[in-house]
Structure formats: structure tokens, C-alpha cells
A and B are shown apart, each in its own frame.
Chain A
Amino acid sequence: MMDTEEEDFKSRLAPDVTPNRQLPWLTGIELLSDTNQNKHFLPTGLEGIDALLGGGLRQGQVTEIAGPSSSGKTQVCLSSATHVVDRNFGMVLYLDTSNSFSPFRISCFVNQLHPSLPKELKETSLQTIMSNIYCQSVFDIFALLDLLHHVETTLKHTVKLGGSKLCLLIVDSVSSVIAPVIGGKNSQGWCMMASVGVLLKRIAYEHNIAVLVTNHMVGGENGTLKPALGESWKGIPHIRLLLSHGTGNNHGTTTVLKHTLMVSMHLDHHEIWSKWVVFFSVLEHSSVTGRVLYVAGDSFAYRTHASDTN
């Protein structure tokens, strides 16, 4: 009974939209089951960060790590690459803008993974893991856009080819190629930044890939530091984390700046949270009958997951 109602509803909607470019309409329940079955958490290898992320890097979402210099952003990226390949999620593509991809450091991570393995097995596991991490250097924004387009085309054409599929895309750091073109008199730079953002989100969503980007810090008011790339970039990553140095020791702290599921720790992000609260209170009140059509960017599915558990 429910199915025919839904089919009827969908068919009434369908003629009004252009057939070619439209992704299929999905109900909330379909999105929820898709989330539970397909959108896995990819481990970063660092328990604290995995806990803050609610399990790890989410497939289909863009996670940003911001932090001052040498706070550990590249190390988080290298560690994630190692752990993701070790647990056989697939291949990792590492786009490096500051020549910081260190194969030696990756081999250190791999050796820490399974300390009890005999030597020959360790050697083969090292080779297998490192052969599944691809690294490419990018030094300007045009090359980055070109590369991302190429990745998208390749993913569309080689869906069921043998071997591993790309599951994690790391751009370290996306801010160093975007920052030199934004600001200034013309707005082309902002346009290109938006293109990069849209491309990253599309690749993440359509091919079920987790995207991890790093961002640096710039000075804000009163001498405090804030993440670079400005207000317009804030809306692009789904989840933003802020790393900071420990004072005098090796421990750093991580703060959640923005998360689709969890309350963020900073007061100025309450506006984002309250938007969701208003929306769901509308749904919950019984005076709303009939269906609600929500045209979503990308964060809708995961929020329904949370309200289900509330």
C-alpha cells in the first residue's frame, strides 16, 4: 500500500523536473537505510579524533582539519591513509601541495600497526599497503581542478573494474592552492574556490568516498587565529575540526568546529544548530500533515539518523 502511494507521489513530481540531470528522489527512510548500510566510517588511526568524528571519516562527506603550523595536520592525513588501506577499505589518493608526503613516515605507521607479525609478513604487508596509496603533487589551483575532473571521469568509467576502488581522497593542503587566488579586486578566485568545493562534495557523494582536506590558520581580530579561506569556505566541508598545539609537550587538542550530527563546541555555531532544531520541530508537531519535500545539498541523511535515535 505504502509503495504504490510513494510511486504515485514520485511520478507526479517527475514530469516537472528535467529528466536527464536529476538524481532520483529518495524518501527519508531510503536515505536512512542507505546511510546505515553503505556509508561507513573510515578510521583515522587516532582514537580521540575518531571519537570526535563519531566513528571516523564518513564516506560521502568532506572533513576539514584546520590548525596552526606543525599542529599535526599532515600526520593525521598520513595516519588515516595507512589505517584505511590496512583495513581494506580501498585505495587512497593523496594530493600534496607542500611536498610533505613522507613515505618513510608511512612505513613507520605501518610498522606500528601489527607489531607481533613475523618479519616476512611485515615486509609483504608493507608493500601491499604502500602500493595502495597514490600520491600526486599539485602546485596551483588550475592543476587541482584539472586533477579533480580527471578523478571524477575515471571513477565514472571504471566502476566495476578489478582491484581496489578509491575510498579516501586527501588534499593536503587545499588552502595553500586556494589562498593565493582569493581576495584582491576580481572575484574569479572565489568562483574557483567554489568550484573546488562543489567538485570535492560531488566526488564524495556520488562515488561514496571520504574526502579529507587540511586548512591553515590566519590572524583574526584581537590576535586570535582563525581558519583560512574565509566565510564562504565554511559551508563547504561537512565536518570541521580544529587542531591545536599542546603547550610544551607532545599532546595537542582537537575541537569540533562544525558537525552535522553533534553539537559543536563554539558558541557562534549555534545558529547552524538552531536551524535544524526549528526544522525538525515543524516535522514533529502533528499539525503538519502530508509530505515535506526537502531539497537537500548533502547533509540531510545523517541528521535523520540522529533524530531517529533521539
Chain B
Amino acid sequence: MEISNLPISPSIRSKLLSKGYTSLSSLSSISPSFLAQELSVKLEEAVEVLRAVSDTTTSKSAHIPYGIIPGAVTAWDMLSEEQMQRHISTGCEDLDAILGGGIHCKEVTEVGGVPGIGKTQLGIQLAVNVQIPVEYGGLGGKAVYIDTEGSFMAERAYQIAEGCIYDILDKFPSNSREFLSCKERLQVNNFLAGIFYFRICSYTEQIAVINYLENFLTEHGDVKLVIIDSVTFHFRQDFDDLAQRTRVLGGLSLRLMKLSKMFNLAVVLLNQVTTKFTDGSFQLTLALGDSWSHSCTNRIILHWNGNERCAYIEKSPSVPSASAPYLVTGKGIRGINSNFKRARIM
């Protein structure tokens, strides 16, 4: 049943099957107007069907190179690529260390925590840190900030950008010629101009903006970070049909994965927590259910440990689970300098 594997709408698919077109070869020599008449659909829809058919058949009959499928890369090539990859610093050295350098590009990282723990602060810090020029050890890219709750404050972003620039100039005090040209770019206004901000107010807008992101990212090739704060907000209240919510979210996360791989950028999703009754007690878990928990590459949980804020890596394919404390200061997210020299490994 090859027709069933075509990416066309279900109503057209059932019309094709009911008229007797079951295999791709039966559609190979048919004109769009004839098909439109047969199925009683519009001419454009018939053209789309035939285009989907021809796409599938050309990819199958193309010369198959040796190398099992086109586009597959060996792990060895990926290793060398990965070693040259830069990471986005979070501002806290301990957290960067346990993350293996910082937030990875080409991966979707989910950050969850109770309200007030510093998720939005971390989001804004990452949006600033991704813009650190390459000469100073950063990525030199721009950021897309998708705000669903309205918690992004431009004044705070200004403060954090100022703090970041101050620390960079502190760390690299040299006045050599290469650094002079970069220094001009280290202006707070440039940093704020490098954050593309989207404010969305419903789940349909959220789905729409993620669908639109592909076009946006093709136009703005220097975006290296997409932050969604928070990805759960609109899906918690308005959705009646939970099964449909799971399906929609599954599709959303796949699209984000594809974007991160295609455009070589990092996607950071901020998530809220909810309580769950397991093993006879109420526990805090991330919102959106069990099926959402597998749709990210890495997961970081921010929590309180006594009086200090702590970040715990719950899920990662390449680094072990570990915990690191951090501070939210006036300049942004920073590590604990004097007392804790090493992150506690769990």
C-alpha cells in the first residue's frame, strides 16, 4: 500500500484509495486535470498529489551510492565535527563544566524548575552569552526569544548584557589590534539588537511561530540559539483533549529537533513543574506529562538545595548526571566563586 505512505492529506488519500489507485505506478502517467476530475478535488490539490508521487519515485530510482543511505554520516566524521563545536556558556563555570562546556548546539535542552528559581534569568543570560564574539570564546551568533508568559524584561536584559561585557573586558584586558575592533562591537545596544523577540498569547500562535521559524532562520543565518519561555504555559490551561495535546507536542518537539540539526543551533525550552502522585507520595515533576519527557536531548532541573540554587543534569546522552550550584546576581547568572571549587558529582 504505497499510497498510504505518501505525505498527503487523509481525505485525498481515502479518495484515491476508494477510486482504486493503490500503488504509485498507477498514478505515474496521469494528468492533473484528469485526476482532479476523478477525485472531484481542485486542480491545485491534484497537482500536489502528483508532485508528492514524483518526489517519492525519483528518490527511489536515483543511483544509490555505496554508503548505505544518502545523508548518513559516520560517527568518526561526527566526532571531529563535534570536537570543533563551540558551546554556549551559561555564565556559571561549574554549570558549564558539568555540561561539558556549556549548552550544546544541534541539541534541544529542556530546563525546568519551580517558579522563582531563575529559569527566565538563565534564558536571558544565554541569549546574551550566545552573542559573545568568537574572539572572546563565544559563538558570535544571535538569539530568538519566544516569550509565552511575558516574563522577558528588556531592562533586565540590558543589565545582564552590561554585566557580561564588563566581565569580558575584565578577562581579556589586552589592547592589541585584533581585540580593538571587537571591542567596538561590545556595546550593550548591539547585544540587545541581537535578540529577536516574539511574544505569543495562545497555543495556536505558539504552533504557528514554530512553523514559521524555518523561514525565519533561513533568512537570518546567524541565529545560534532559540529559547522558548515557557513551552508549557499555553498547553496547560486551554487544552481539553489530552491525547491531542500529546500528539501536537510530539510534532512540535520533532520540528524543533529538526531545526536545531538543520541550522546548527541550540534550542532551549523552559518548563514549569507540577505535582505527581507516584509511589505513594506527591513529587514535583516537569509539566506536560510522560510523553513530553523524552522529546528533548538534555534535561536540566533547577532546584533549591537549602538556601542555594542548584542545577542538576537529569538527562544527557554524553555527560554523567551531576549537580552544580549557581547564583542569580545583578550581573546575571554566575557561579559560586570562593567556597565551591568543584561541582558535586552524584
Separation in Å of the B61 CB from the closest CB of chain A? 9
The answer to the question of A195 belonging to the interface, with a C-beta cut-off of 8 Å to chain B, is yes
B-facing residues in A1-32 (Cβ within 8 Å): none
Chain A residues with a Cβ closer than 8 Å to the other chain, count: 67
Given contacts A102-B317, A134-B73, A161-B66, contact A216 B1 (CB under 8 A): no
B-facing residues in A171-206 (Cβ within 8 Å): 173, 175-177, 179-184, 186, 188, 191-192, 195
Beyond A74-B317, A135-B73: 15 further Cβ-contacts under 8 Å? Answer: A70-B314, A93-B69, A97-B254, A99-B108, A103-B75, A104-B79, A104-B100, A107-B79, A127-B76, A134-B72, A151-B69, A176-B294, A183-B243, A186-B10, A186-B14
In the complex the two chains form, is B60's CB within 8 Å of A131's CB? Answer: no
Residues of chain B within 8 A (CB-CB) of A146 are 5, 56, 59
Given contacts A99-B257, A216-B294, contact A150 B69 (CB under 8 A): yes
Interface code A84-122, partner B: CB below 8 Å = 1, 0 otherwise?
000000010100011111111111000000000000000
Separation in Å of the B139 CB from the closest CB of chain A? 18
The answer to the question of A228 belonging to the interface, with a C-beta cut-off of 8 Å to chain B, is yes
Task: Give chain B's interface residues, CB within 8 Å of chain A.
Answer: 1, 4-7, 10, 13-14, 56, 59-60, 64, 66-76, 78-79, 82, 100, 106-108, 243-244, 246-248, 250-251, 253-255, 257-258, 260-261, 277-278, 289-291, 293-297, 299, 314-315, 317-318
Residues of chain A within 8 A (CB-CB) of B67 are 134
A-B contact count (CB 8 A): 170
Residues of chain A within 8 A (CB-CB) of B73 are 134-136
In the complex the two chains form, is A133's CB within 8 Å of B74's CB? Answer: yes
Q: Which residue of B lies closest to A214 (CB)?
A: B294
Q: Which has the most chain A C-beta neighbours within 10 Å: B72, B251, B278?
A: B72
Residues of chain A within 8 A (CB-CB) of B69 are 93, 134, 136, 147, 150-151, 154
Question: In the complex, A140 Cα to B314 Cα: how many Å?
Answer: 26
Question: In the complex, A272 Cα to B306 Cα: how many Å?
Answer: 52
In the complex the two chains form, is A134's CB within 8 Å of B79's CB? Answer: no
Separation in Å of the A123 CB from the closest CB of chain B? 11
Separation in Å of the A182 CB from the closest CB of chain B? 8
Q: Which has the most chain B C-beta neighbours within 10 Å: A104, A127, A163, A166?
A: A104
Residues of chain B within 8 A (CB-CB) of A186 are 10, 14
User: Which of B66, B261, B277, B299 has a CB less than 8 Å from the CB of A70?
Assistant: B299
